[in-house]
Structures are given as C-alpha cells and as structure tokens.
Amino acid sequence: MFNKSLVSLSLLLFPAVAPLLAAEVKVSSFGFDPEDATAIIQKAIDSGAERVILDQVGKPWVTQPLFLRSKLEFVFEPGVKLLAKPGAFKGKRDCLLNLHGCRDVAIIGAKDAEIAMRKPDYQNPELYERAEWRYGIRAYGVKNLVIRDLAIRASGGDGICVTGLARPERDKIHPADEPYRQEIMDESILCARNVLIENCLVDDNHRQAITVAGIRDIVIRNCVLRNTKGTAPQAGIDFEPDGIDTYCVNALVEKTTFFNNSGSGIDIFVGSRHEPLSITIRDCDFTCPATAISAMGREGSKGGVVNLENLRIAMTADRPFLLLRNRWANDVTYHLKDITVTAEKTFQTSPVFIVIDNAWKTEFGDVSFQNVIINGYADETPLMSMKILAAASELVNMTGTITYNGKPIDIAQFLQSSTFKINRFEIPQYRVETFAAPAGERFQAYFPPLRYQSELLVYGEAGESIGFSLLYNWVNRYMRVYRDKLRLSGPDGHVLELGEFVFNPLDKSIDPNQVRQRFTAVLPVTGCYRLPLNPGFGGYIFEPDEALRWAFIGGAGHEYNTLLRPTHKDITGYFEVPAGVRDFAIEFSGGSGAKAMPAVIRDDQGQTVLETTLREDSTVLKLTRANAAASVVWSFTVSRPFAGLYIRLPHPLTGVWAGCPGNLPRVNPVQAAP
C-alpha cells in the first residue's frame, strides 16, 4: 500500500522553514537589467537571505542559468516572469533553475507567475545543438523541496526533472552547501527525497512535463501537465529511474490534469534491484492524443505496486489507453480501479494493448481491473490486442472485469476465449552448414537502419575477401559509449574476429551521426557465416560491398527475425518456401503508433497472393500454395513502415529473407532435437 506518511508530506517537508522567513531580500534591491539579470539574481540568491523575493518591476527578469542553495525560499510576486535569455543556454544541459543536492528549498509562485524558456529556438538546429536536457527546473539529489503555484513553460527538455545527484553533477553543489557535502553524498546519489509539486502549470515542454527518475517520497498534486511535444517520450509524467540502482518509492499523483501530451499521459518504466516500486495515481483527468498510461517492465527489479484509481480518460486519437509492455509475473503488480475511458470516435485500435518483446521471462501479467468502464470504440474492435516479439509467452494473473461498450467482460475468461489468442510459433532451428549458395537475380535493395539486436547471414567462397561498413544510427537521447565486438561464425565452428565497433557520443571531436567503420575478412572455407549485430539503443545502417551476398536471419534465441527502424520507403523481402511446405505463415508488427501499412505477398511467379493492411499489433498472414513439390521463392512488400517494422518467418519457413533473390540461401531448416 501507499506510504501513509505521504498524506501529511506537505506539512512535514519544511519543519525548519517557518522560523527562517524573517531574513528576506528583494532581488531588485541588488539592481535590475532588462537584457540580462543573471548576476543580479544570483547575487540575491548567494546573499544568504532565507527568503529571496523576485519582485515585480514591470518587466520580465531575463536570465541565464541560476543556481539555488539550501535553506532558501525563492518567491515570485504576482505576475512576475523569469525568462531564459535569448541566445543563451548553449550547453546541452543548461537549465534555468538548478538545484544540486539542495536541502530545505521552496520555490513559490503566485498568480500569473511563471518561468519560461525558448523551446522553438532550442529545436532549431541552425541555432542550437540538438539536446533534450535544457530543463526549466533541475532538482538533482534534493531533500525537502516544494514547488508551488508556478507555471513552467517552453523548456528545451523537461519542465521539472527530479532525480538523484549523478556523478557529473556533484561538482555543481552550491558553495554555500559544502558543509552538507557528506550528507548529500550519503543520501542523494540514488534519489531525491521529500518533494512536493503543487498547483503548477507545466506547459509546452520539449521532452516531458515532469520526469521522476529517482525519488523517495514525492507528491504531485493539483497540477496541469499539457502540450508536451518535441522528443520522446513526450509524456506528462515519466517515472523512469536513471538505472537499475535508482528507485521510485512512495510516489503519489493526485487531482492532476494531463492534456494533449504527444506521448503518454504517464510513462512508468521503472524497477529497482534495491527496493520495491510504489506509485499511486488517483483522481486525475486525461485528455490523450496518445496512450494514457504506458507501463514497461525491467529485468532484475524488486517488484512493487502501482495503483491507478478514479481516473477519467478521454481518448482523442486511435491509440490504446493502457499499454502494458513486458509486465512479467511476480514483478510490479498493477491495480486499476474506478476508471472511465471514453473514445471520441469509433476507434479501431484496442483500448488495452500488450507487448512482449523480450525473452527474460515467459510469464507476463499481474494486472487487475475493478470497475473499469470503456465506451466509444467500434464494436468490432477487440478489447485487448497483443504484439508478441518473444517466443513462448503466457499471460497469468490477469483478473477482474471491464465493461466494454456496455458489456461486462471477465478478463480471465476473455484471455482463454477464441476471441483472444497468443500467436505461438515454432522458431526455425538450423546450422549454417546446411545452407547452400544463393542463386538468382542480384540487385541493390534499400533497407532502413537495423534496430537493436540483429543477425545477418553472409555467404562466400573459400579465400574470398568480403567487406562491409556500418554507419551508426544514433538515438541521441542515449549519451553512453557502445562497443560491439563483431565476429563471423561459419561452417564447422570457424570464427573470424572482425574487430570492435565503438560509438562514443561524448567525443566532441566527432559528428555522432557520421560514425562509420569498415570491416573486412578473408573467408577460410566456403559456406554461410552468421554475423550478429548489436547497436544497443541505436541502430546500424548496413553498407555491404557490391559483391557481398547477405540476408537477414532469425533462429534459436532470435524470437523476432528483424526489427527495422522507421522509413518512408517500401520494404521488399524474398524468402524461401521449402519443398513439401504447403501451409505457412508470416507475422508482421508495426512500431509504436503504426497506422495503415499496405502489404502485398507475391508468389514465385510474381502474382499477388494476398493484399492487406498492417498496424501496430501482430498481424499473422496465413498462406497456402497448391503445389508444394518444389522449393520456390516468394516475396513480401510493406509500404512505408514509418513507425518501424518487425518481421518473423516461423517454421516451416527457414526464417531467412533477403533484399534480392540472388542473396537468399536456399535450404530447409534442421529441426532442433527434442
């Protein structure tokens, strides 16, 4: 259950503030500069006064980054605006109000008081280096913080970001707080503590309205979080610890409005190996052009509980209100109670969407529904849909009742009914020795970047020199060094070490979007070689030499064949239908938010066998052919998978496909031993 101490958190946060309010200064007593008041405001903060008042002078206060200290009440008079200076904040992590390890701080607004940055400028690549960390308020490793009665607008990142004091930030502790350094180091590395955000409008920010990345005890109450748009996740609130060592304990969000955020109303991507998660969201209103609640699991977490209570959700776009991703059993339990969901139109995307895309565990679930009412979806739209990218998966401990378009549905019974099916396919098992040389027409084919782990199949003759280049496709929110050791695994156990691909976005001397490395090898024997690729959260653009014969593969340990990054070009793949195979299937899934991707399947004569439209959820195309005597090559084409594309060719297909027939190995899979 939620920690009862939070009920009185707002009364307990500042036991020492009241007697400290006698010593106060007005910032204007230190001067005023309408062009740049940074030094003036900072001088007032550094004065040691316990109450610093940003007073009304008839014009906005224009500033560069400001750094607060402990034991401070920073007060805005009515109508006061604190604005980011034009042309400033050039650093990727330059924030307007900065708190590093501060203790006992209150940032108190008033009617029409606001801080505002210059989001359109930061989003202009001709003016600023692209980044997502130019926050309105950065609260790192704080203890006892109140933010109240204030508008925070147009930041180049989050309106407010609350987390622990990361290593790079520890040298930014305010000089006045040096006496507390050891306490800060002891208490604030993994999380902030005791935070209240109340009566705030957080509007038009670039990445999030509020990020909670490491916390013990936080209340977000009576706030309006709206119009987040710029870079993912674009949520109202993102509960996402910086790592498995940080945690989120005793978080309460209540009486808060989420409106028109481009991402989820609330993202929950948490899990700690130290302490169980505990979050309660209650008595809130959502108006959502995207998912209202998105919940993702994390391997190795201590579990916990998320309570979603008394929520009113209006869906304005064809998206699920609830996205459950990798919610494996015996991890975090979700309780949904007294929730009303209304769709503005007869949407076709299921209101509850389940995604399983890892193989860490095979049981997923621990979600209960009580008095959940969903109305306004098309009658033919199923209550739940799934996209399963992992192999053997089971849904367990999914209980309760949802009233869907006026009809009560028992969830446990629904999951066992013919209406809802988990697609279970046997994964092709094979050895590289069994593949023969490709044959057929060769031509250059377009492919978008490969995302996450991929595996290619390369064919060559003994003594042949092969080569390719990899261009890194950077997802720039991940500022970390990636190392990928490349090797070819060939016939009879031959392994060729190709070298290491290194991507370091922290290296200022390189353009992170132009990191390209070339790899070559001389093949010792004739045959097929497996080439695993792992670009981390980014992707690879694979640039083969013209003579290289290569294909995509999926097999043991590769539940999905290929994940391609978004593209606005058509994707065509060629695959073998082995001799003796009459009936088979192909499975496609679009990336998040995928809509209406036309797909065509053609036979070995180039004749259209099937035409359909793909979406985000798993689409299984069941196919058959009249004459199964010969091994033949069929093809698929998917038009403009702008949200990305997952492709799986399960047994009895080989799991192999290529961009042209002349690159496709032709062989039947070898079945795994029972």
For residue 669, give the 3-state DSSP assignment.
coil
Nearest in space to 142 (alpha carbons), one of 92, 189, 179: 189
Q: Please determine, for residue 644, whether its predicted confidence score (pLDDT) is greater than 80.
A: no
The residue among 78 and 579 whose pLDDT is bigger is: 78
Mean local confidence (pLDDT), 18-31: 76
Residue 540 has a pLDDT of: 86
Mind listing the pLDDT tens digit for each residue in 263-314? 999 999 866 566 888 999 999 999 999 999 998 876 666 778 999 999 999 9
Amino acid at 135: Y
Which tokens is 414 given?
């629904």
pTM of the model: 0.78
Residue 671 has a pLDDT of: 38
Which tokens is 95 given?
């924030």
The residue among 498 and 454 whose pLDDT is bigger is: 498
Residue 419 has a pLDDT of: 59
Q: What are phi and psi of 512, to 5 degrees?
A: -65, -15
Mean local confidence (pLDDT), 565-594: 84
Query: Mean pLDDT for the chain?
Result: 85
In the chain, % of residues over pLDDT 90: 54
Q: What is the DSSP letter of 10?
A: H
Length in residues, the chain: 674
**331 vs 269: CA distance, rounded Å:** 12
Residue 1 has a pLDDT of: 36
* Cβ-based neighbours of 497, under 8 Å, separated by 6 or more: 485, 486, 487
Pairing of the two strands 645-648 and 562-564 = antiparallel
Nearest in space to 196 (alpha carbons), one of 170, 176, 222: 222
Following CA atoms 379, 384, 385, 389 in sequence, which dihedral angle do they give, to the nearest 10 degrees?
180
Element (H or E) spanning 43, and its range?
Answer: helix 38-46
Following CA atoms 367, 373, 379, 381 in sequence, which dihedral angle do they give, to the nearest 10 degrees?
-30
Residue 618 has a pLDDT of: 73
Mind listing the pLDDT tens digit for each residue in 511-568? 777 889 999 999 999 989 999 888 877 788 899 999 999 998 864 444 445 667 667 7
**131 vs 476: CA distance, rounded Å:** 8
Mind listing the pLDDT tens digit for each residue in 227-237? 999 998 999 99
Which tokens is 255 given?
């009486």
Q: Please determine, for residue 244, whether its predicted confidence score (pLDDT) is greater than 80.
A: no
Per the DSSP assignment, residues forming a β-bridge with 208 are 158, 235
Query: For residues 348-382, b (16+ Cβ closer than 10 Å) or e, as one string?
Result: ebbbbbbbbbbeebeebbbbbbeebbbeebeeebb
Residue 6 has a pLDDT of: 39
* CA torsion through residues 606, 610, 611, 616, sign: negative
Q: What are phi and psi of 483, to 5 degrees?
A: -130, 130
Tokens 């610093």, residue located = 52
Q: Please determine, for residue 106, whether its predicted confidence score (pLDDT) is greater than 70.
A: yes
The residue among 196 and 617 whose pLDDT is bigger is: 196
Domains annotated for the chain, with CATH where assigned, are 42-416 (2.160.20), 432-663 (no CATH)
Going by pLDDT thresholds of 50, 70 and 90, the confidence category of residue 54 is: very high
Q: Which of 85-99, 158-172, 224-238 has the lowest mean pLDDT?
A: 158-172
- What angle is formed at CA 87 by the lines to CA 85 and CA 90, rounded to 5 degrees? 105
**93 vs 130: CA distance, rounded Å:** 11
Residue 216 has a pLDDT of: 93
Neighbours of 508 (CB within 10 A): 7
DSSP codes, 385-426: EEEE-SSS-EEEEEEEEEEETTEEEEHHHHHHSTTS-----P
Per the DSSP assignment, residues forming a β-bridge with 588 are 619, 647
Residue 536 has a pLDDT of: 74
Tokens 């959940």, residue located = 372
The residue among 20 and 444 whose pLDDT is bigger is: 444
Mind listing the pLDDT tens digit for each residue in 464-522? 999 999 998 776 555 577 889 999 998 878 899 999 998 887 777 877 778 899 999 99
Cis ω on the peptide bond leading into residue 652 (within 30° of 0)?
yes
Residue 602 has a pLDDT of: 97
Mean local confidence (pLDDT), 641-648: 78
Q: Which of 24-33, 214-223, 337-346, 499-508 has the lowest mean pLDDT?
A: 499-508
For residue 338, give the 3-state DSSP assignment.
strand
The residue among 636 and 616 whose pLDDT is bigger is: 636
Residue 327 has a pLDDT of: 55
Q: Please determine, for residue 655, whether its predicted confidence score (pLDDT) is greater than 90.
A: no
**250 vs 1: CA distance, rounded Å:** 9
Tokens 């920690």, residue located = 3
DSSP codes, 182-235: HHHHHHSSS-EEEEEEES-EEES-SSEEEEE-SEEEEEEES-EEE---SSTT-E
Residue 154 has a pLDDT of: 98
Element (H or E) spanning 82, and its range?
Answer: strand 81-84
Mind listing the pLDDT tens digit for each residue in 120-141? 999 999 999 989 999 999 999 9
Contacts for 42-50: CB closer than 8 Å, 24+ residues apart: 42/66, 42/67, 45/69, 45/72, 45/74, 46/176, 48/23, 48/176, 49/23, 49/24, 49/25, 50/20, 50/21, 50/22, 50/23, 50/24
Residue 565 has a pLDDT of: 67
Residue 167 has a pLDDT of: 65
Q: How far is residue 34 from each of residues 30, 110, 117, 247, measured CA to CA in Å?
A: 13, 21, 16, 42
Residue 18 has a pLDDT of: 39
Q: How far is residue 481 from each of residues 484, 503, 506, 537, measured CA to CA in Å?
A: 10, 6, 8, 11
Mean local confidence (pLDDT), 650-670: 82
